[in-house]
Amino acid sequence: MKKPVVKVDFQDESPKNGKFKSRRRFIKLGGLAFAGSSFLMYSCSEDDDFNPAGQEPDPMEPEEPEEPEEPEEPEEPAAFDLGSGNIGVFNYAYALEQLEAAFYTEVVANFYSGAMDVDGVSEEETLTDIRNHEVIHREFFKTAIQGLVDNGTITQDQMLPELTFDFSGAVDFSSRQSVLETARLLEDTGVSAYNGAGSIITTPEYLLLAGKIVSVEARHASAIADLLEPNTTAFARDGVLVALREGGDPAYDKAQMPSEILPAVVGLDIIEEEFTATELP
Amino acid sequence: MKFIKLLENLADKESLAANTSRRDAFKQFKNIGKDVALASIPFGLAATSSKTKAATAAMSSAMFQASPTDVLNFALTLEYLERNFYRMALDTDGLIPDEHRDVFAQISKHEDDHVEFLMGALGDDAIAEPTFDFTGKGLNLDTFSNYQTFLALSQGFEDTGVRAYKGQAGALMDDDNLLTYALQIHSVEARHASQVRRMRGEKGWIVQNNTTIPDAFAGIYAGEQNTEQGGVDLAGMFDDFGGNDAITAAFDEPLTMDEVNAIASNFIVMDSDGEDSED
């Protein structure tokens, strides 16, 4: 595995300062080093082919449970780690889909006033459709990961638990603008996250599944942006795309790695639980 | 700093309906005997079952048939088609209404760059641009004189592009860079498709295999009604969340190279090697 193809700053549309959050996350990862030196090596290595044991890690092989050393503050439980390889990507996707589904569930349950129907399609119907898709994605990943637990591929404690969310500081659900801007950020982030995760996935079947979902997230991102700025370039705007060649136009979605996505998502201060991704690039 | 409330918070806070769906899903997993589950559910692939490994190998070899060069030239053909299509439309006075010009100028700019990018990636291996006929050859479509026809074809090309890139992702797995570039194009095509669909009064996503474009192109949506994902049939599990229509919309389906070529051949009169394209 290599560095992300496109290094882009997440800050352009993020409401908070991504750099500060990145730094905070790095400090947090450093603090977890006591849990096992291999974790520290993974988290510091930009080249995740690097393998201190000299063996090809099998991402589907159940991890040997690390025996944590005595923590300095014994009352602190360790944060859940998403894991590596396919399992890590599943947990990662499950986390993002939980966030999206929870957000749209709130939106639909208490739909804002002032909706503007564009091109004859009701805005409420559009957001309800998206809510449905995200709930289906969330339940799909939950079922899929639970299936891996049930057949012994991973243990129950390697499956990301259900997360809880507090949107109160981040979203005003009575405000069309606040809801749609949050939706746009979540969808654009989802697209970039799935695009980045593609190269972490090691089996064609799982890659295809990610591909089936990411294009739907992109359809959402496009629709939400167009609700905010109808019939402009917003649906695939220069500001959210990147160029891939010198002198070229921004004509490509971002592809960011979990190490870039997660600090930005955590920075929204919506997810109540902390989790880490020390074994994902 | 907050700390994770690990498994203590497993109590479901979602609606009862969500719980029911989930229980149904689990029941389905349990109802399938374990051996069958391992053979048919990709999520069981890691288990040490020789049957499963054989199935995986067969599936993988099928997906690896095309070389990366073949895949990139396949993509380049589609991008040539789209570039040509939008350039001609933007150059046709009175076709695109003013309020939609920004949208199509943006899409056209992207297709131009995709062509340049793929040509650069292929170098000497890049195929030359074929000759296109957007009347659909014998179909006599009024593509550049009737805006609705143009819109319908635009939607068809964008949705085909999404399905085409998706179908080739597996063939690029050995090259992380190429795979990621392809994914970065794939999702932009999906942004285009959603926008054009919505400008036609459609939803941005594909529901079942519904099509509102000329009958000759039903193949563009063939198979989109699939409800089976990861070896599990999700049909009937989300009745409170849009039902099977929502399931089919929540997952876009791939097309094979042959299926895409069959669609594109309606618009190619002369291949890049100078031979007449098959009808």
Q: Does A31 lie at the interface with B, CB-CB under 8 angstroms?
A: no
What is chain B's alpha carbon radius of gyration, rounded to the nearest angstrom? 22
The yes-or-no verdict on residue A7 having pLDDT over 90 is: no
Nearest Cα residue in chain A from B22: A139
Interatomic CA distance for residues B59 and B63, integer angstroms: 6
Q: Do residue A203 and residue B56 have CB atoms under 8 angstroms apart?
A: yes
Q: So what's the pLDDT on residue A70?
A: 54
Lowest mean pLDDT among A209-213, B10-14, B51-55, B244-248: B10-14
Work out the burial of residue A237: count CB atoms within 10 Å of its CB; fewer than 13 is exposed, 13-18 middle, 19 or more buried. Answer: middle
Give chain B's mean pLDDT.
81
CB atoms within 10 A of CB B271: 16
Lowest mean pLDDT among A8-17, A125-134, B209-218: A8-17
Mutant choice from A76, A143, A154, A271 vs B, greatest count of B C-beta within 10 A? A143
Asked whether the CA dihedral B36, B37, B41, B47 is positive or negative, the reply is negative
Highest mean pLDDT among A162-166, B11-15, B23-27: A162-166
Q: Does A66 lie at the interface with B, CB-CB under 8 angstroms?
A: no
Interatomic CA distance for residues B247 and B255, integer angstroms: 18
String of DSSP letters for A123-168:
HHHHHHHHHHHHHHHHHHHHHHHHHHHHTTSS-GGGSPPPP-B--T
Backbone angles phi, psi at A204, to 5 degrees: -60, -35
Q: So what's the pLDDT on residue B137?
A: 87
Q: So what's the pLDDT on residue B143?
A: 97
Q: So what's the pLDDT on residue A35?
A: 27
Confidence tier at A67 by pLDDT (50, 70, 90)? low
Higher local confidence (pLDDT), B7 or A185: A185
Q: So what's the pLDDT on residue B216?
A: 84
Q: So what's the pLDDT on residue B275?
A: 59
Helix (H) / strand (E) containing A253: strand A252-253
- pTM score over 0.90: no
Give chain A's mean pLDDT.
80
The ipTM of this complex is: 0.79
Chain B partners within 8 Å of A121 (Cβ): 198, 201-203
String of DSSP letters for B244-277:
HHHHHHHS-----HHHHHHHHGGGEEE-TTSPBP
* Whole-number Cα distances in Å, B89 to B99, B161, B200, B226: 15, 18, 17, 34
Q: Give the number of residues written for chain A.
A: 281
Q: Does A161 lie at the interface with B, CB-CB under 8 angstroms?
A: yes
Higher local confidence (pLDDT), A239 or B33: A239
Mutant choice from A81, A155, A215 vs B, greatest count of B C-beta within 10 A? A215
CA distance A174 to chain B (A): 21
The yes-or-no verdict on residue B52 having pLDDT over 60 is: no
Chain B partners within 8 Å of A235 (Cβ): 103, 106, 191-192, 194-195
CA distance B118 to chain A (A): 10
CA distance A66 to chain B (A): 17
Q: So what's the pLDDT on residue A72?
A: 55
Chain A partners within 8 Å of B26 (Cβ): 143, 146
**pLDDT one-digit tens code per residue, A209-252:** 999 999 999 999 999 999 999 999 999 999 999 999 999 999 99
Nearest Cα residue in chain B from A62: B46
Chain A partners within 8 Å of B43 (Cβ): 144, 147-148, 151, 153
**pLDDT one-digit tens code per residue, B64-99:** 468 999 999 999 999 999 999 999 999 999 999 999
Confidence tier at B45 by pLDDT (50, 70, 90)? very low
Average confidence (pLDDT) over B127-155 = 96
Q: So what's the pLDDT on residue B274?
A: 58
SS3 (DSSP) at A31? helix
Interatomic CA distance for residues A253 and B109, integer angstroms: 14
